A and B are shown apart, each in its own frame.
Chain A
Amino acid sequence: MTLHRRTLLASPAALLAMPAIAQQAPIKIGVLAPLTGVLASGGREMVDGVTLFVEQAGNKFAGRNVELIVEDDGSNPDTALQKARRLVEQAKVDFLMGNLLANTGLAVAGYVRGTGTPYFIPIIAADELTQRGRIPNVVRVAGYSASQTAHPLGDWAAKQGYKKVATIGQDYTFGHEQCAGFSRVFSNAGGQIVRQFWHPLNTSDFSPYLGQLASLGVDAVFAMETGADATRFIQQYANFGLKQRIPLMGAMNTTDQSVIRTLGAECEGIVSAAHFAEGADVPATKTFVEEHVKRFNRIPSLYGFAMYCGTMWVAKALEKIGGRAEDRAALLTAVRETELDNSPLGRPVKLDSFGNPVYDIYIRRVVRRPDGKFWNVPFASYPAVSQFWNYSPEQYMAQSPYSRDNQYIRQN
């Protein structure tokens, strides 16, 4: 109520001052990332990614200064929601970016649906947000939907001649979606999903699962793990002697740089599918990796890469509309129409009509570098893979979403 009166009183002055303000006021970006809790290191890399791009752009997008306001979402949806409210209503940011855990992203998405604030989610992979439950002002710039990269890996596995595969995954939505993507395509290509194992988050001892995996007589294993679970799974898979016997495939997060950075030879040779590979022999990727190593002294993970590209994407859209970040409708339209051609991927990327990028997906393998560190190097690729694989969007979304009970496995 006070707001109305104030704007009314200020309006003649504001009208006169308008052009000057538009040039001087900074573009305010609200960045949400988990800076405390178990995901803190990933959150830190997210902020690094944004910072690196903004620094390289000289702290200016479209001639306007850029102000980053970083808030800790605490890996907790309630906290994320509260912090998003503060950024939008108190700090008056022009748009929001970030969040890591799907549930924090879903909570914030529900909130911005009401406020209309543009919200960009380079990390949040929940299928729902760009499919059945999409929200017009939520765009997955430079992100991916969970099952998007798992689909082509299923196809690749079938073409390797693998007949029987078992999957193991973390028992939550992100795991269900990726395992379903892999299992669906693999079984429809004639393969057999022998068994699926689901384990709780933060499993410290995988031996019960590894013992069963060893005795199933499978040709390969698909593992969907994140963070410390991924580290432990890969270590124990090798310790159990399975590494030499059964080829291991992973979701992209299983062999993300944030995981294999801490590992040794155990991770060598694991195959995964992703739109980004830090070891790709592409000039743009090499430059990005070098700059990232120079600035932060570590090879970029998916978190740093995605936030860097996401920021780049929005910056490019802002250039198009003359930096008018306040004009939400124009910003969102520009972001949707932007084709990102100068990103570290080295290939142009654009969004599908649901706000999710269409990528060339690499099939990549963990390789030892001459300096002894490990990274993902691509050796095959699937061009123009959308979140719907080769199904039509309408047909795909008419079916119920992937879940633990809905894995779309064809019995062969």
Chain B
Amino acid sequence: MKRQLAWLLVLLAAAALPLLLSSYHVDLATRILIFAVLAMSIDVLAGFVGRTSLCHGAIFGVATYVVIWASAKAGWAALPAMAAGVLAATLVAALFGVLAVRTRGVYFLLLTVALGMVVWGVCLRWTTVTGGENGLRGQDMRPALLVARENFYWLVLAVAALCSWGMWRFVNSPFGLSLRGIRDSESRMRALGYNVPLHLFVGFAVSGFFAGVAGAMYAFFNEYVSPTSVAMAQSVAGLLMAIVGGVGTLFGSFIGAAAIILLENTVSWYTDRWQSVLGLVFIFTMIFAPEGILGGLRRLAASKGRTR
């Protein structure tokens, strides 16, 4: 009960943000929420299945491409376009899942990099559909009600909250527990009679579904997509957010996304060398809080409890 109350307060505080912030900061907050969902979808695999994916940026981008294509080229309404984007991302994730579930560790990492590169290559070269390097531009994609950035923020907040709840339920379900079992000992789970590849496949597809939701929201946010949205840098960005927030904490992704996006957008005010500053922050995070910000806070809280 106390816990639910706390979550409600967090949600209310987040919902009140547009009343306090400038329009630019509302945009930043929207961006943070979208990327937090992407980071969480990566964390589902990295933190609870022990599989670090580097193709979720591509899955995210597939949804962005499909939504903008459906809206700008095929003239679909927002809702069906969004559904098509999420569906496409889930299908791509399912396909990737089939290929990737039999690998683990560094091989899984490399395979997902390769699969992500395939998507990137297709988006870059299939000029007639994707617009090649120049990308696709959408026009007035949001329904009239969502044109105002506050309204769009609230929608994204609602979707992000639903997704977080969904992913939290997923990793804490009996199915999620079996995924954790696979993370901890694949051979034991197999010996117990679990169909490990099937579990991994479902885990991958579900995680891809949520990456797709984030990508579809991103399409409405930017109304523009180019191959950089499916490039490896996008996957790395999502993974970094999950890591900085704390792998295996799920909600740490919000903190990680906020930390990285705010850093990116404020440090560049002061110095051209903002990328060096970001690099240093990552290095220090890895040295002093390898379990991420939320993980570190939890450890701190736990150790305090013990000394008392």
Question: Of B130-138, B177-185, B285-293, which binds chain A?
Answer: B130-138
Per the bound structure, the CA–CA distance linking A1 and B233 in Å amounts to 36
Per the bound structure, the CA–CA distance linking A282 and B229 in Å amounts to 45
Q: Which 7 A-B pairs have CB atoms at the shortest separation, nearest pair first? A: A89-B24, A172-B133, A90-B24, A103-B226, A173-B134, A110-B137, A107-B224
Per the bound structure, the CA–CA distance linking A85 and B265 in Å amounts to 11
Cβ contacts under 8 Å, A204 to chain B: none
Question: Of A69-77, A187-195, A271-279, which binds chain B?
Answer: A69-77
Q: What's the nearest-Cβ distance from chain B to residue A393, in Å? A: 21
Which residues 11-59 of B sit at the A interface, judged by CB distance below 8 A?
A: 19-20, 22-25, 27, 31
Cβ contacts under 8 Å, A89 to chain B: 22-24, 27
Instruction: Indicate if the CB atoms of A77 and B132 lie closer than 8 Å.
Output: no
Instruction: Indicate if the CB atoms of B223 and A110 lie closer than 8 Å.
Output: yes
Cβ contacts under 8 Å, B274 to chain A: 72
Cβ contacts under 8 Å, A113 to chain B: 139
Which residues 71-123 of A sit at the B interface, judged by CB distance below 8 A?
A: 71-72, 76-78, 81-83, 85-86, 89-90, 102-103, 106-107, 109-111, 113
Cβ contacts under 8 Å, A103 to chain B: 133-135, 226, 228
Given the interface pairs A106-B135, A126-B134, A173-B133, the reply to whether A81 lies near B224 with Cβ below 8 Å is: yes
Residue interface mask A152-179, B partner, CB < 8 A = 1 = 0000000000000000000111101000
Instruction: Indicate if the CB atoms of A107 and B229 lie closer than 8 Å.
Output: no
Q: Which chain B residues have a beta carbon within 8 Å of chain A's beta carbons? A: 19-20, 22-25, 27, 31, 124-125, 127-128, 131-135, 137-139, 150, 222-224, 226, 228-229, 233, 264-265, 268, 272, 274-275
Instruction: Indicate if the CB atoms of B272 and A72 lie closer than 8 Å.
Output: yes
Describe A's contact surface by its main secondary structure: helix
Q: Is A2 part of the contact surface with B, judged by Cβ < 8 Å? A: yes
Cβ contacts under 8 Å, B31 to chain A: 82
Per the bound structure, the CA–CA distance linking A35 and B264 in Å amounts to 14
Q: Which chain A residues have a beta carbon within 8 Å of chain B's beta carbons? A: 1-3, 35-36, 71-72, 76-78, 81-83, 85-86, 89-90, 102-103, 106-107, 109-111, 113, 126, 128, 133, 171-174, 176, 403-405
Cβ contacts under 8 Å, B226 to chain A: 77, 103, 106-107
Given the interface pairs A2-B19, A103-B226, the reply to whether A36 lies near B272 with Cβ below 8 Å is: yes
Residue in contact with A133 in the complex, picked from B125, B137, B228, B268, CB distance below 8 Å: B137
Cβ contacts under 8 Å, A176 to chain B: 127, 132
Describe B's contact surface by its main secondary structure: helix
Cβ contacts under 8 Å, B228 to chain A: 76-78, 103
Q: What's the nearest-Cβ distance from chain A to residue B65, in Å? A: 13
What would 16 A/B residue contacts be, using CB atoms closer than 8 Å?
A: A3-B23, A36-B272, A71-B268, A77-B135, A78-B222, A82-B264, A85-B24, A86-B24, A89-B22, A107-B226, A110-B222, A110-B224, A128-B134, A171-B125, A176-B127, A404-B132
Per the bound structure, the CA–CA distance linking A136 and B284 in Å amounts to 47
Q: With contacts defined as CB atoms under 8 Å apart, how many contacts are there between chain A and chain B in the complex? A: 89
* Closest B residue to A89 using CB positions: B24
Cβ contacts under 8 Å, B138 to chain A: 110
Other A-B pairs beyond A107-B222, A110-B138, 4, CB < 8 Å? A77-B224, A85-B24, A107-B137, A176-B132
Cβ contacts under 8 Å, B131 to chain A: 173
Q: What's the nearest-Cβ distance from chain A to residue B122, in Å? A: 14
* Closest A residue to B25 using CB positions: A90
Per the bound structure, the CA–CA distance linking A353 and B133 in Å amounts to 27
Instruction: Indicate if the CB atoms of B132 and A172 lie closer than 8 Å.
Output: yes
Residue in contact with B134 in the complex, picked from A2, A72, A81, A102, CB distance below 8 Å: A102
Cβ contacts under 8 Å, A78 to chain B: 222, 228-229
Per the bound structure, the CA–CA distance linking A155 and B224 in Å amounts to 36
Cβ contacts under 8 Å, B137 to chain A: 106-107, 109-110, 133
* Closest A residue to B221 using CB positions: A81
Per the bound structure, the CA–CA distance linking A81 and B135 in Å amounts to 14
Instruction: Indicate if the CB atoms of B133 and A102 lie closer than 8 Å.
Output: yes
Instruction: Indicate if the CB atoms of B127 and A1 lie closer than 8 Å.
Output: no
Instruction: Indicate if the CB atoms of B128 and A403 lie closer than 8 Å.
Output: yes
Per the bound structure, the CA–CA distance linking A109 and B139 in Å amounts to 11
Per the bound structure, the CA–CA distance linking A81 and B31 in Å amounts to 12
Counting chain A CB atoms within 10 Å of each CB, which of B228, B265, B275 scores highest?
B228
Q: What's the nearest-Cβ distance from chain A to residue B231, in Å? A: 9
Per the bound structure, the CA–CA distance linking A77 and B137 in Å amounts to 12
Cβ contacts under 8 Å, A36 to chain B: 272, 275
Q: What's the nearest-Cβ distance from chain A to residue B306, in Å? A: 43
Per the bound structure, the CA–CA distance linking A86 and B264 in Å amounts to 12
Q: What's the nearest-Cβ distance from chain A to residue B229, in Å? A: 7
Cβ contacts under 8 Å, B133 to chain A: 102-103, 172-174
Given the interface pairs A72-B274, A89-B27, A172-B132, the reply to whether A83 lies near B268 with Cβ below 8 Å is: yes
Cβ contacts under 8 Å, B134 to chain A: 102-103, 106, 126, 128, 172-173
Instruction: Indicate if the CB atoms of A106 and B224 lie closer than 8 Å.
Output: yes
